[in-house]
Every structure is written in C-alpha cells, then in structure tokens.
Amino acid sequence: MNIFFKMVPLILVSLGMDVSFAKINPNAPVGGTFNRNLGGEPPTIHPIMATDAYASVIHSYVFDRLASRDPQTAEFAPRMAERWEMAKDGKSCTFYLRPNLRWHDGKPVTAEDVKFSFDAIKEKEYGALHLQSYYENLDRVEIISPMVVKFFFKNSYFLNFSTVATAEIIPKHVYGDVTTSKKLTTTAVGSGPYRLEKFERGQKIVLKRNPDWYGFNIPPWKGAYNFETMNFRFISEENVAMESLKRNELDFVPRMTPEYYVQKAVGDPWEKTVFKVKAENKAPKSFGFIGWNLRKPLFQDKRIRLALYHLLNREEMNKKFRFSFSDLATGPMYIRSEFADPKVKPVLYDPKKASELLTQAGWKDSDKDGILDKVIDGKVTPFRVTLIYANKDVEKYWTMYQDDLKKAGIDLVLKYLEWNSFLKELDSHNFEAAALAWQTAFDWDPKQIWHSQSAEKGGSNFIGYSNPEVDRLIDEGRLEPDQAKRRKMFQKVYRLIAEDVPYAFLFNDRYTFYGHSIKVEKASDTLNYDVGVDYWWSSNKASLLR
C-alpha cells in the first residue's frame, strides 16, 4: 500500500469506520479465475511514471515492497525484507532482504535493485515529480552487502520509514536504462505474488499467480492471493459493469453507488448468483472534489470560489443520490481523520449568499440575458465555466449543479473526457474546473497536493494552489516527531486550506458498497483496514450457474 495520494475519477464512494467480525481463511484453496473490474484503463503501468489509482492496483500485485501494513492490524509486516532496524533518531534504517528472492524473469533480487528503485525516483527523466516530495528527505541508499541495504535520511521526517518500506522495488536490469524503460508502458517485471501475463489495450490486463513467491505461507499473507488467474476489465460506467456482473462476466465490481445498492441491486439474480455488500471498516478514505484552476484569473478571486461552493447543493445531492449515507466534506481530508479540524463546518447551499459575493466581485446581468457578465480587459465577458469529468456515473450531480448555477446566472458547460484525455488536461493545466477524487493513505502528508512546490508540471497540485503559511506549516509539520504537535499543525493546514476554498469538497462516506458473484468465497465482507479481496478464493458454488 503506497503512502502517497493516487488520483481517481470521481466515484464518491469510500470506506467507513469500524468492524469487529473481520476474518480471513489462512487455508483458503488455490486456483480458479477471478474477473474483476478495474474501472478504467491506466495510461501506463510503468512503476515510476504511473500516477493513477488504476495502475496502482496492478502494481500491488506485480511489484513487491520491503514491508506492508497488515490489513487486520495496520501494523507493518515483513515482505521482501525479513527484518529491519530503525535508528533511534529516525535518520537511518537498515533492511535485511530475504534469501533467494527472484524477479519474475528468474533473475535474483539484490540490494542493488533496492538502491536503484529509489535512485530512479530522483532522476528527472523518469518524470516522478508526484513522488519526489516524499523522498526529498532521503539522502542516500548504501549497499551494505548483497542482501542488506541501508537508508540515510536528511532529517527526522515522520514518514521516513513508511516511505521507503512501502515503495515498489523494481529490477535494475529491466528499468535501469531510462530511454528503454520509458517505453515499457504495457509490460512490467516485478517480484510480487502475480506476474503480468498481458496488457491488451482497450480490453484487459491479465495476471498469473507467481508460484515462487515467498509469502504464501507467511502471516499475515498466508491465505491471500489465491486465484490462479486474475483478469482486470476497464469498464467505467456502473450500469455496464453491473450488467457484466449479473451475466457472470465479472466476479467483482469494487465500487457500487448507494443509489444502485438501494434501488437497482434488487430482484433476480441479486442474492442468488450475485450479491451486494455494504461494508464498514477503518480503512483510509478517499474524498471527492471540484478543483478550480487557480491559474485562471476568474478563480483567483476567493469570493468567486466561495460563491460557486454556495451554489453546490450537496445537502440535496446527498439525500437524492446517496440516501444520506455520506457526510458533507469540510476540507482536504476525510472528516473523521485526526487531521480534520472539527471546528471547520461544511459550506452549505446558500444562493442568497452566493449572489451577494458575486455582486461584490462585480458580476451582474447588464444585458438582461440571464447570464452574469463583467467587463474584463475592456470586453463584456459572460460568466461561463467548463467542468471536465471522467465518470459518467456521477454526471447527474453535475447536471443538478448546472441547473442551480443557471438560476444564479452562471453558464456551466459540462465536458466528459475519457480518463487518459482527462489526465492530459490536468497535466497541461488546460482546464477551468475538474471533478475527481484523491485516494488517501494512513498518514497525511499534505505536501504532495497542497505545497506550492508541487504545482509544477506533472505535480499533484495541478490547480496551482499556493499559500505561504500553508507551505510553512507543512514544512515544519513534516519534521515534527511529536504526533500530537504534528496533528495540531496539520489541523491548521486543513483549516487554512478549507478557508481558501481551492476545491469544492464534496462527500465523505461511511461505507463502501460493492458487488460480487457466486463464483467467489470470503471469510467476511471486510477486514479491519481493507475490504480484503486479496483473501478471497474460488467457490465450489460456481456449478450452480450451469
């Protein structure tokens, strides 16, 4: 599980709070084929250059890490490294690799590969700006022996250990040549529990179980990775994905909207050959938003951003589309996070307040055509904004927003883009407003998204947000070893960002909804910190479909 944020199209479903019944089956049978929906096609599955959550899912199976969090306890458990030693001052860490580790092509894994995996992130040619904020405190990596590697850090950054422990380790002999490596967009060689069989553009990604993986008999991974073959499909529309599930062409759809769960997942074949699940656990949660491109003059006025926020009727959207399963988001992390300032209240739907703010900013309907306008650079300019998005399933939210904005004299143009095209628009900063979500992690480091240094091309601060006080608090908080003090500092970061309204923050959900077929078995609907799909296995009930 990577510690950095991953970009996902706005789906508005995340995970909830607490369970006490989570179980795994350490003796789960091995075999069978698992067909699951990925949700979209990753532009690349290169281990360094990929930025989206779709690629991250594939990476989690193909590439391995020195350590990963136990999905039941959230504590770090050994993976490629059988043990480690962290210096008391937090400025160095030594990892001892397991003997006889092998890459999928049969070549041995060595400390040289581990060192290369981190050196490559800092190579400008790889374009890993979205990762570099996490590794800027890594001073150097030294090879102590063929199977021992030591990391030295510049300071006591609170994520020093998790940053290096959870990074994907990649083979130097495959990715070491930058020119050749950059072409490897549909191939991947790792050492994880699955090997990449093929990547068929526009069709699927196929993974095959790696029988030589060391972890099959080591807790907490014993009982995981049981399917012989996993096929990942790229179906972006919920209705299409669910129809595929009902036809048993898919065995798992990881995200189901509350609307589908309540209104559509009823009757045959539901609860007979396909099943819906409403799960609640303590996993990190994603958050959705509309991001305003602050490089555009229109959005540099906070009054405009706040007015647009007041015209977003989240209360009605939550009732109408989400059956009130969600909380209204208040800022740049999920509302139940320890870093969310509880004093920050949600921005509510208030057309009157929005109108006052727009008038203060000089917008009025001078020609009485129903659209606000303003003289800009000597020209009468109508208030028109284009919103780009990459998920048609939430288009109804934007249609509702469009109607409410029209009543206020604002013309919202909706523009759906395929995921790859959407990412290109963000990366080139060629957009006005964009709807999407961030998939978050256990510990919050705001730098990747909110520090001004992350606003360069390729960085995750694609809206160009900049606040010197936020920068200062992020820089200081990242080096604060005392968790209570760091929490207080990052809560202030949360509050300042919320006050700046660079995003219209949407919803925080208490549950995750998903669908699966009768062809899979599981010990429980969710684990404590993960749904636990990796612990599922092929069911002997599949014969009922014949």
Task: Note the pLDDT of residue 510.
Answer: 87
pLDDT for 278 beyond 70: yes
Return d(Cα 48, Cα 128) in angstroms, integer.
6
DSSP type of residue 282: -
Structure tokens at 338: 């320890």
* Element holding 521 (H helix, E strand): strand 520-521
Say what the pLDDT of residue 1 is.
32
* Band of pLDDT at residue 545, cut at 50, 70 and 90: low
Listed range (102-106, 149-153, 166-170, 441-445) with the worst mean pLDDT: 441-445
- Calculate the alpha carbon distances from 400 to 104, 109, 145, 281 in Å: 49, 54, 61, 31
Task: Pick the closest to residue 519 from 317, 251, 148 (CA basis).
Answer: 251
pTM for the model: 0.78
Of all residues in the chain, the percent with pLDDT exceeding 90 is 79
What DSSP letter does each residue of 485-508 carry, written as one string? HHHHHHHHHHHHHHHH-SEEE-EE
What is the distance, to the nearest Å, from the Cα of residue 102 to the centroid of all Cα atoms in its chain?
29
Q: Would you give the DSSP letter of residue 284?
A: -
The two beta strands, 433-439 and 411-416, are unpaired
Show me where the domains of the chain are located: 6-280+511-545, 287-509
Q: Is the pLDDT of residue 542 over 70?
A: no
pLDDT at 20: 41
Mean pLDDT of 39-47: 93
Residue 28: DSSP 8-state: -
Return the minimum-mean-pLDDT range out of 119-123, 167-171, 360-364, 446-450: 119-123
DSSP state of 121: G
Q: What is the mean pLDDT of residues 239-243?
A: 96
- Whether the pLDDT of residue 98 is over 60: the answer is yes
**What gap in Å lies between CA 219 and CA 239, rounded to an integer?**
38
Give the count of beta carbons closer than 10 Å to the beta carbon of residue 267. 8
Collapsing DSSP to helix, strand or coil, 517 comes out as strand
522 Cβ contact partners less than 8 Å away, ≥ 6 residues apart: 516, 532, 535, 536, 537
CA distances (Å), 486 to each of 66, 158, 331, 339, 429, in order? 26, 9, 17, 9, 32
Give me the mean pLDDT over the 116-143 stretch: 85
Dist. CA 265–CA 278, nearest whole Å = 12
The answer to whether 183 and 193 are in contact (CB under 8 A) is no
For 287-509, which CATH superfamily applies? Dipeptide-binding Protein; Domain 3 (3.10.105.10)
C-alpha count within 13 angstroms, C-beta hemisphere, residue 170: 25
CA proximity to 326, closest of 257, 393, 263:
257
Q: Looking at residue 544, what is its pLDDT?
A: 55
CB-hemisphere CA count at 13 Å for 55? 21
Residue 8 has pLDDT above 80, yes or no: no
At 48, the amino acid letter reads I
60-84 pLDDT tens trace: 999 999 999 999 999 999 999 999 9
Do 449 and 460 contact (CB within 8 A), yes or no? yes
Q: Average pLDDT in the 18-31 region?
A: 78
E strand or H helix at 509, and its extent? strand 507-509
Is the model more confident about 366 or about 1? 366
Q: Cα separation of 311 and 406, whole Å?
A: 10
Cite the beta strand spans of 397-442 per DSSP E. 411-416, 433-439
Q: Which of 192-206, 303-317, 320-334, 436-450 has the lowest mean pLDDT?
A: 436-450
Q: Looking at residues 141-153, what average pLDDT do you find? A: 97
Tokens 């990242």 label which residue?
478
- Enumerate residues 6+ apart whose C-beta is below 8 A from 328: 314, 315, 318, 346, 348, 507, 508
Q: What is the mean pLDDT of the chain?
A: 92
* Residues near 215 by beta carbon (within 8 Å), at least 6 away in sequence: 79, 193, 221, 222, 224, 225
Q: Lowest mean pLDDT: which of 1-15, 39-53, 97-111, 222-236?
A: 1-15
Q: Does residue 6 carry a pLDDT above 60?
A: no
pLDDT tens digits for range 255-270: 899 999 999 999 999 9
pLDDT tens figures, 200-239: 999 999 999 999 999 999 999 999 999 999 999 999 999 9
Assess whether pLDDT exceeds 70 at residue 481: yes
Q: What is the mean pLDDT of residues 174-200?
A: 94
Q: Are 96 and 147 in contact (CB under 8 A)?
A: yes
Kindly state the average pLDDT of the residues 146-172. Answer: 95
The answer on pLDDT for 19 being more than 70 is no
What's the CATH number of domain 6-280+511-545, 3.40.120.10, 3.40.190.10, 3.20.20.80, 3.40.50.800? 3.40.190.10
